Amino acid sequence: MLIILNHKMNLNIDEIKEYEKILRDYDVVVMPQTPYMSLFTHGKYTLGSQCVSEYNAPGGVSAESLAAMNVKYVLVGHYERRNIARDTDEVIKKKIVKTLEYQMSPILCVGDNNEDDIDMVKKQIDSAFSNLGIDLNKIIIAYEPIHSIGTNQMLDASIILDKIKNIKGYLKEKYNLNNKIIYGGSVNSENIDELQNITILDGIIIGHASLDINEVKSIYQKIKKL
């Protein structure tokens, strides 16, 4: 199971240095703030990026520079960037192409506003996949229900299972694809056992809980059966 730690804009440099030392024995994907990426070079972990720029602009983060830092995974289309940073459908497509151009795996985030809104997820997939002209199998899909982000309350496991089944079925039916599907949304050590029971789930994104190295340790040990 893919385990992704998304720090967003949290942890200061002293906290990160201590965090990294402990994380070295963990086979996870860590996504720190961009300025701290160079501190993650010593462990079993894999480096990921929370963003990539689709054009050459001041303050941007190029796919070339990420690849040079040995980044393997890049988040694309996270709800907060769609909503606040105005990552449009066209921008997201360009970011996917840039990521794949440098042999990194794009993680396309899709989500919905309520438990019954699977059409919103399908639309986001279609807008990203249409006319790309690349190997779509290399795109990882991250289902992150918008109504669950930041609430500290994960969706019921049965609902998550139904969503994953729907997404997998849609990808197979329309595109003849079998992409990896992961879940993000208030994942922590208390609910990880429920997620592990979803055998068709390929991984998880841990947000707030990833800031606490003891939470990471607890989740990791449960997943790896340590």
Active site residues: 78, 144
Per-residue DSSP letter, 63: H
Q: Write phi, then psi, for 87 (nearest 5 degrees).
A: -75, 100
Tokens found for residue 208: 């707030």
Task: State the Cα–Cα distance between residues 197 and 135, nearest whole angstrom.
Answer: 30
Task: State the Cα–Cα distance between residues 116 and 82, nearest whole angstrom.
Answer: 21
Q: Which helix (H) or strand (E) holds 142?
A: strand 140-143
- Cβ distance 184 to 6 under 8 Å? yes
- Cβ distance 106 to 76 under 8 Å? yes
Task: State the Cα–Cα distance between residues 36 and 56, nearest whole angstrom.
Answer: 21
- 3-state SS assignment for residue 29: strand
Q: What is the dihedral of CA 73, 77, 81, 83, to 10 degrees?
A: -160
Fill in the amino acid letter for 159: I
C-alpha distances out from residue 106 to 26, 72, 77, 130, 167, Å:
22, 9, 10, 16, 17
